[in-house]
Amino acid sequence: MKRHLLILIACSVLTLLGAPFLGESLILGADPAGLDGLVFWEVRVPRVLLAFLCGAALALGGLVFQAMFRNSLATPYTLGVASGSTFSVALWINCGLSFSVLGISGISLAALVGALLSVTLVYNLARISGGLATVSLLLGGVILSFFFSSLTMLVQYFADAGSMFKMMRWTMGSLGQADMDAVLQVLPFVVSGVLLIVQYRRELDLLSIGDELAMSRGVEVKRVRRILFFAVSLMVAGVVSVCGPIGFVGIMVPHFCRLLFGVVHRELVWMTFLLGGIFLVWCDTLARSVTIGSDLPVGIITSLIGGPFFLIVLLRRARV
Amino acid sequence: MSENPILLECRDVCVGIRGKSLLTNVNLALRQGEHKVIIGPNGAGKTTLLRAILGSLTIRGGSILLGGRELSSLRQAEIAKLISYVPQLLAAEIPYNVREFVAMGRYAYGGGPRDAAVESALTAVGVACFADRVVSTLSGGERQRVCIAAALAQQAPILILDEPLVHLDPSQRMEVQRVLRELPREVTVMVVTHDLDWAKMNFQSLLSLRDGVVDYDGATVDFYSGSGVSRLFGEAVGLKYKEESI
């Protein structure tokens, strides 16, 4: 286990050091004052950092949801949390408001409100309609997801051309706005989410075997669940407010990690975090390398890889 | 036995969900070292009673005392140090290996797989030999023994089991029955079951529920020789057990 973690840490460092050199053009030994140097330090480095943070946060959020709901298809994306968050950001952009509270931008707060709202909705929807581990959870999530997506489109429909383009690009999930400010905007959300989650690594194991058993072993199920919901909402909100919804990282990476490293969450939490970061950095490197002059929203790449993967997971589950 | 201290007590416990009454004025006392069985027809409130005692649902009236303290005032981890629980046969996918699963019983103590209690629990129910296998790949009887091991690792004075024999084939049932018979003497046991023969043979005291009300609470022998069985399950079943006890 320890060795796997070390390998992943090494891969993360290599990724973070290596990826900025790659892209549309290879930048090697650039003069820091020249154009290449500018592109390297002002565009690529922040972008790689942002991709790593977002990928790591989304993957970890997926892992936590999958353990909590005992369902390998549960992620902030499939359960409608990301789309709830997206909707409230779209609404925010359209209203053209801007202020910040304690250095946290309004857009991030809007994202957080949307995320918390939808997580509460989907949880209660599933609980009322018959159990968390069942299909009703995913059904509730999908319904909610569509509902919020429609609302988002409605907001876009009535928006003026300028903010509409901004929203369009943004709802595709893109890391194009990356600069150091964006990194610093996401960082506190991700760090606080991760710090909360690592406190509850043992509880994740227990929750994943069932609420009743977890409770009889001594877990304060309701309280832990609430804290974890909040932690995941924090991370998702941070990511969504800057990059928009980036799908499928949250379902693929945790799944791979469980296959590769086993199911005990003590280490799995860290592995998933690192692999999620690595995965999104390379997806994004691909996104900004394949087209000349502009970059493909990374959401397209992850969904193109993720769609078929999702299907495979689904089919394999159906066969068991 | 009757001088032993009372570990668990229910006083006039009432439980209801959405206006429907599930348990009415249930009284129950469980003394240290006692082996008590709870029987009753389906829907009589047996599982509800267990869930109330485990603190997973809130009671509408009365009180539940655990070691003399009000259940609702205890934290979940404190309850876990007093009561361990074996649910009905695990149908859910448990991807953990046996040792990891049993070690989860140490949660309330902040312990883990290296605790001595884990090793002794594994040996006590004879599952140490497959401690590295994944729980979901085990047979029903093995899984049930693993669950009992996990409960024992919790080192709680009271062990509660919900229908431990259901869905098991005859040899697996014997396997689990043997494990339960060989439990350490100081463990207090409370079992919910539909198996009237097993209840008759293995438990000194019996409590029966009917429509959320306690129908009988006392010595098992008297329940079977009296009209207890026929009150719960009808004349035909009652007659069979009456003949047997004569």
Q: Where along chain B do its domains lie?
A: 1-80+194-246
In the prediction, which pLDDT does B101 show? 93
Cα A132 to its chain centre, rounded Å, is 22
Would the CB atoms of A218 and B77 count as touching at under 8 Å? yes
Closest CA in chain B for residue A258: B95
Closest CA in chain B for residue A216: B80
- C-beta separation of A53 from A249 below 8 A: no
How far, in Å, CA of B167 to CA of B36, rounded?
22
Instruction: State the pLDDT confidence band at A320, using cuts at 50, 70 and 90.
Output: very low
- What is the CATH class of B1-80+194-246? alpha beta
CB atoms within 10 A of CB A222: 11
Ranking A112-121, A127-136, A220-229 by mean pLDDT, the lowest is: A127-136
Task: Decide the pairing of beta strands B188-192 and B20-31.
Answer: unpaired
The superfamily in CATH containing domain A2-319 is: ABC transporter involved in vitamin B12 uptake, BtuC (1.10.3470.10)
In the prediction, which pLDDT does A56 show? 95
Return all residues near A7 (Cβ < 8 A) that are at least 6 apart: none
Element (H, E) at A101: strand A100-101
Q: Which portions of chain B are predicted below pLDDT 50?
A: none
Would the CB atoms of A213 and B77 count as touching at under 8 Å? no
Q: What is the mean pLDDT of residues A191-197?
A: 95
Q: What is the mean pLDDT of residues A3-28?
A: 83
Q: Is the pLDDT of residue A181 over 50?
A: yes
Q: Give the helix ranges, DSSP H, for A70-177.
A: 81-95, 106-128, 135-158, 161-171
CA distance to partner chain B, nearest, from residue A1 (Å): 15
CB atoms within 10 A of CB B167: 13
- Per-domain boundaries in chain A: 2-319
In the prediction, which pLDDT does B94 show? 85
Q: Is the pLDDT of residue A117 over 50?
A: yes
How far, in Å, CA of A131 to CA of A174, rounded?
35
- The three state secondary structure string of A202-219 is HHHHHHCCCHHHHHHCCC
Instruction: Please give the biggest Cα pair distance in chain A.
Output: 64
Helix axes of B140-153 and B116-124: crossing angle, nearest 10 degrees: 140
CA distance to partner chain A, nearest, from residue B83 (Å): 8
Return the percentage of chain A with pLDDT > 70, whole number: 87
Would the CB atoms of B95 and A219 count as touching at under 8 Å? no
Q: Which amino acid is at A305?
A: I
Disruptive mutation site among B47, B54, B90, B107 for chain A (greatest number of A CBs within 10 Å): B107
Q: What is the mean pLDDT of residues A153-159?
A: 83
**Distances B108 to A107, B67, B77, B239 between C-alpha atoms, Å:** 41, 17, 5, 47
